[in-house]
Structure 1
Amino acid sequence: MKTGLIYDDIYLEHNERGHPENKDRLISIVQELEARGLFKHVIKIKPRRAVVEEVSLNHDIGYIQEIHDFCLAGGGYLDPDTYAYSMSYETALYAVGAVLEGIDGLLSKEVEAVFCAIRPPGHHAERSKAMGFCLFNNIAIGAHYLLKKGLSRVFIIDFDAHHGNGTQRSFYEEDRVFYFSSHEYPFYPGTGSAEERGVGKGYGYTYNVPLSAGAGDKEFEEIYSKLVPKLIREYSPEFLLVSAGYDIHKDDPLTFLNVSTEGIGKIVENILKTAKDLNIPILFALEGGYNLKALAQSVALTIEKMLEA
């Protein structure tokens, strides 16, 4: 696949030393991509700065202003887990903008697949609430952006170890966006039971696969080689968005799943195969992953799989 990679040093400006979600995550990824010579094989795309109107597709205007003002005043902690400092608002706008720029590149067929190496992550952020290290919900904004452009069927896959409560809530009453998540359960943030299926016209368009601590390659292979391709084929989406959370790795310090680097490669391979078979544009956006070595190797493997697909 003609693969685009979106990255910018702006993503290093949002930082809290000693916090698991810090700039070293992206530094380690960039170093690994350089070591493997991958930069010369991808199409490098610069992110743009999202505007407030775009962020407000998923977030309350008052909340966006609150984050802006909080950062302007020097910042601190928005909740026990989630920090924001003077440059965090700008960084978060560029994280959103990467997803939107990637979508535009895919819709114009300049690329066939995109990986957004961005932070802060997004899938926990709700309409008016920052949580779980997330300020703005990058993938949810991307899905709303696609709907605004006239698409009517968007499929979101979220393989982060933590359930994407924010993304689920954004589309819980919506049939134009299918949200699929596999995640450790019960675990932070406490949502994501199999009974959560959506409401109203959105019923049946949320699909959660809660997994017990210790679930590993075998369980994920079953989900991503059989269940996910089946759901995608049945829904017949026009676009695939992936919340790529690498904290499913067995070496991750914050979670209790047991997926190997090779197992992550198989997840990605299965997703890409379905996208290619059905000729659906696909965008991956970085979410979690807190063991620097495992994260860097997993992202590099993801991009290698995209180039090979």
Structure 2
Amino acid sequence: MRKTGVYRNELFLEHQPGFSHPESPERLRVIYEALDKGDIAEHFLFPGFDPVSQEVLRLNHSAAMVEQVAATHGQGHTYLDPDTQTSARSYEAACFAAGALVDGLVRIEQGELDNAFCLVRPPGHHAEQDGSMGFCLFNNVAVAARWAIQELGMQRILIFDWDLHHGNGTQKSFYDTDKVLYISSHLYPYYPGTGAVIEVGNSAGAGYSLNIPLPGGQGDMEYARIVNELVVPVTRAYQPELILISCGFDIHDGDPLGSMQVTPAGYSWMTRQMLAVADEVCNGKMLVTLEGGYNLTAMRDGCFAVLAELCGKKLDCGYPFNLSKEKADRFAASSVACPALDQSLQIVRGYWPGI
């Protein structure tokens, strides 16, 4: 059984982007309530943590952008873009969200945790250097990666983003560097319009942004192929010192904003494979952070599928997420047709021979 940290805070429920907004506090509330049932919490550690400072946020964001979000503190609803609203405590919640990731990295690096899942909001992967967008205030995973490079001296960090939407902000943050390898599987064309297969990075970053743009309708077997044939082999070739996962549950079958067909078994498989390659290349150092997902049942079941794999223990709480051996064997041997993956592999092999 691994030492798995779970980062939660009631403050994350105080971010109120507006009535009927899909990125609602209920997304986390349903997960927090499930964590508190029975003996589930006994399998995890729940560290206390602090918000990041503006100095840390400026590792990835402009001073003007940080000040713009900070100015919303204590205010009523403020629109940062047509989809992205804040309430009185949103800035505070966003600072704690990034703080959860940074604290998780500290504890993983020190050996206090083997891995962690940051159950935070607002999400982050759309936020760019100069602006909040797409429900995201600050880019949590990019801030954490920047911090790991500066404070931990890391030179190779892998970010795998399986959210339904392309993480434009994360990609832009590291488009010109080889210190972060960003891999994204996402619905395309779709919001935010980025993530074409030809977007591979510039200068020193050429080949370090890898995109798998999908047409929709892909499920567990297609995602198993993506992980088995592209993500894991490239991870082995890159030999990262740390793996970060931008985990979106909006690829779940039935998500109101998506058209994918992934089930909890698919999340289990992807997490299991990423943990295995993390054990190979970086002593198991892996941190997962929550991004999108807007079907509450899917959020809960997907989250526990990931958590069960992270801690390495079957969680008997009545939800259909535990991965059977039969399904695992099928996922391992998946050869289902996925032309979008085949196209991405052609691009990837130009930068990563032997994949």
For the criterion TM > 0.5, the same-fold answer is yes
The aligned residue for residue 9 of structure 1 is: 10
Report if aligned partners of 1:7, 1:47 keep a CA contact under 8 Å in 2: no
Q: Deviations over 1:186-211 (max 9, x none)?
A: 11100001100000111011100111
The aligned residue for residue 264 of structure 1 is: 267
Report the 3-state secondary structure (helix = DSSP H, G, I; strand = E; otherwise coil) of the residue aligned with 2:138: coil
Residues 28-37 or 274-283, more deviating: 28-37
Matched, 1:286 2:287: no
Distance in 1 (alpha carbons) for counterparts of 2:73 and 2:219: 39
Q: Please give the TM-score of this superposition, normalised by the length of structure 1.
A: 0.97
Distance in 2 (alpha carbons) for counterparts of 1:209 and 1:48: 35
Matched, 1:229 2:232: yes
Amino acid of the residue matched to residue 93 of structure 1?
C
Residue in structure 1 matching 2:122, options 116, 120, 123: 120
Report if aligned partners of 1:8, 1:47 keep a CA contact under 8 Å in 2: no
Report if aligned partners of 2:219, 2:262 keep a CA contact under 8 Å in 1: yes
The aligned residue for residue 307 of structure 1 is: 311
Residues 67-76 or 150-159, more deviating: 67-76
Report the 3-state secondary structure (helix = DSSP H, G, I; strand = E; otherwise coil) of the residue aligned with 1:248: coil
Q: Deviations over 1:44-66 (max 9, x none)?
A: 11231110000000000111111
Report if aligned partners of 2:278, 2:284 keep a CA contact under 8 Å in 1: yes
Residues 228-237 or 262-271, more deviating: 262-271
Residue in structure 1 matching 2:106, options 101, 104, 107: 104
| Pairwise CA distance, 1:33 | 2.1
| Pairwise CA distance, 1:32 | 2.0
Distance in 2 (alpha carbons) for counterparts of 1:109 and 1:226: 30
Matched, 1:155 2:132: no
Aligned residues, how many? 309
Matched, 1:53 2:55: yes
The aligned residue for residue 33 of structure 1 is: 35
Distance in 1 (alpha carbons) for counterparts of 2:35 and 2:87: 28
Report the 3-state secondary structure (helix = DSSP H, G, I; strand = E; otherwise coil) of the residue aligned with 1:147: helix
Distance in 2 (alpha carbons) for counterparts of 1:8 and 1:163: 27
Report if aligned partners of 1:32, 1:297 keep a CA contact under 8 Å in 2: no
Distance in 2 (alpha carbons) for counterparts of 1:55 and 1:180: 23
List alignment gaps of at least 5 residues for structure 1: none
Closer, same or farther: CA 280–238 of 1 in aligned 2, 3 Å:
farther
Distance in 2 (alpha carbons) for counterparts of 1:243 and 1:13: 22
Distance in 2 (alpha carbons) for counterparts of 1:182 and 1:94: 27
| Pairwise CA distance, 1:70 | 2.9
Report the 3-state secondary structure (helix = DSSP H, G, I; strand = E; otherwise coil) of the residue aligned with 1:71: coil
Which ranges of 4 or more aligned residues in structure 1 deviate by more than 4 Å?
A: none
Report the 3-state secondary structure (helix = DSSP H, G, I; strand = E; otherwise coil) of the residue aligned with 2:197: coil
Q: Deviations over 1:259-288 (max 9, x none)?
A: 112112111111111112332400000000
Q: Deviations over 1:281-304 (max 9, x none)?
A: 000000001000110111011111
The aligned residue for residue 211 of structure 1 is: 214
